[in-house]
Structure 1
Amino acid sequence: MSKVVLITGGSSGIGKSVGEFLIGKGYKVYGTSRTPEKYTSSKFPIVALDVTDNQTITQAVAEVLTKEGHIDVLINNAGVGITGPIEEIPEAEIKSNFETNLFGPINVIKAVLPSMREHKSGLIINITSIAGYMGLPYRGIYSASKGAFELVTEAFRIELKDFNIQMTNVAPGDFATNIASSRYHAPILENSPYKKSYGNTLILMDSHVDSGKDPMLMAKAIYKIINTSNPKVHYKIGEFMQKFSIVLKRILPDKVYEKLLINHYKL
């Protein structure tokens, strides 16, 4: 019997690549989107789900369970970027980012857990970010929301251990996706004290995404995790230096690491 995989944000980018790869490996894949009608040519079904709307989460999970009877793997991939000086990002945008990157995925997990517990098995893969391991300048809110999701996963793993439900974090670095075009950018204000430094950092961040890794690397990594009997707590996927930056943060004095970030972003 083919395993059933539900991927939030499965219509483009990493989610789409993962879904198409898993289809080729014999999995039954369902993706989600707020506007599934736009993706009629998708290689796998796309169901309506907005991670900020609990009703759509409940309906989407119920739809897949009605058709398949079980969900074996949930891949919490839906997320959104946000950039800007923290001082200048509207509070509503900060809350919106946490709704999408943290509260929404938690609610999707809550929706699939009863079925997984009933079947005494399941795997939940939370897509976070290497940015969640450090407070990056002009990406502080994004770092915070993804970092919080990493910690929530650590706690969740322990709470679920008696139910044979596994959970893991997969933190990607920069991948060539459309995340830069869909994220919230605080405008570069003419009279802002951050105008020059934020503007230069924004250009640098976008160039990192444009030259990022092929999302198929993530697809292959996730396939390997699905076929691992006892997944690790954390996985990091991306350029060597991006992954190594996490190691450096752990071993270097705080101010030395901070200086490295300042030099990297030419601040």
Structure 2
Amino acid sequence: MKNMLITGGVGGIGHAISVYFSQRGWKVYSCDIAPQAPVDKNIIPVATDIRSAESVATARNFVQENTDHLNVIINLAGIYIMDSLVEVPEEDFVRMFDINVNGAYRVNKEFLPLVKNGGRIIIITTNLQILLIFLDSYLK
């Protein structure tokens, strides 16, 4: 059986990716800060706060107890603060960076040993923030 780990697997695109692969016989470990009951038996919810190295290590231990390999890691968890750079409070910017950048680093560092030959690591972001630069004045 092929195995996948996805962060941000509960909402929107993450949920759609999880369902797509689970319906094709993949075991999907869906890491999310607020995991939900799986929609089918191939989706395994894993409570994970990617801001915490300890939480990511705990998630890795859980996954490692259930499989000896991952074929794919998809880093999808992320946030975007809709504010201009000069107006966003520093603590909000640091939080966004910690989730979007450091979170992917923590996940990849912990789970990379489970990715075997031919495995893949995918980082998915959105270009929405590029559009928001031009829409910022209209959103306020």
Q: TM-score range by the shorter chain?
A: 0.7 to 0.9
Q: 1:55 to 1:89 in 2, by over 3 A?
A: same
Measured against aligned partners, the alpha-carbon deviations of 1:24-51 in whole angstroms (never above 9, x if no partner) come to: 1111111011122xx1243311101111
The structure that is strand-richer by fraction is: 2
Q: Which has the higher contact order (CA 8 A, sep 6+)?
A: 2
Structure 1 equivalent of residue 96 of structure 2: 97
> Within 2, Cα distance between the matches of 1:27 and 1:85?
41
1:70 deviation in Å?
1.1
Does 1:113 find its partner at 2:109?
no
Q: 1:107 to 1:3 in 2, by over 3 A?
A: same
Larger Rg: 1
> Within 2, Cα distance between the matches of 1:199 and 1:73?
39
In the superposition, the TM-score normalised over structure 1's length comes to 0.48
The structure that is helix-richer by fraction is: 1
Q: Percent identity?
A: 31
Gaps of 5+ in 2: none
Q: Would the aligned equivalents of 2:27 and 2:44 in 1 still touch at CA under 8 Å?
A: no
Structure 2 equivalent of residue 11 of structure 1: 10
Does 1:125 find its partner at 2:122?
yes
Structure 2 equivalent of residue 20 of structure 1: 19
Structure 2 equivalent of residue 34 of structure 1: 33
Q: Would the aligned equivalents of 1:65 and 1:71 in 2 still touch at CA under 8 Å?
A: no
Q: Would the aligned equivalents of 2:49 and 2:55 in 1 still touch at CA under 8 Å?
A: yes
> Within 2, Cα distance between the matches of 1:99 and 1:105?
9
1:71 deviation in Å?
1.2
Measured against aligned partners, the alpha-carbon deviations of 1:46-75 in whole angstroms (never above 9, x if no partner) come to: 101111011111111221121011111101
Gaps of 5+ in 1: 139-196, 204-267
SS in structure 2 at match of 1:11: coil
Aligned CA RMSD, in angstroms, stands at 2.1
Structure 1 residue identity aligned to 2:26: Y
Count of aligned pairs between the two proteins:
138
Runs of 4+ aligned residues of structure 1 deviating over 6 Å after TM superposition are none
Measured against aligned partners, the alpha-carbon deviations of 1:75-116 in whole angstroms (never above 9, x if no partner) come to: 101011211122111000000000011111111111111232
SS in structure 1 at match of 2:133: coil
> Within 2, Cα distance between the matches of 1:58 and 1:16?
23
Structure 1 equivalent of residue 84 of structure 2: 85
Does 1:137 find its partner at 2:133?
yes
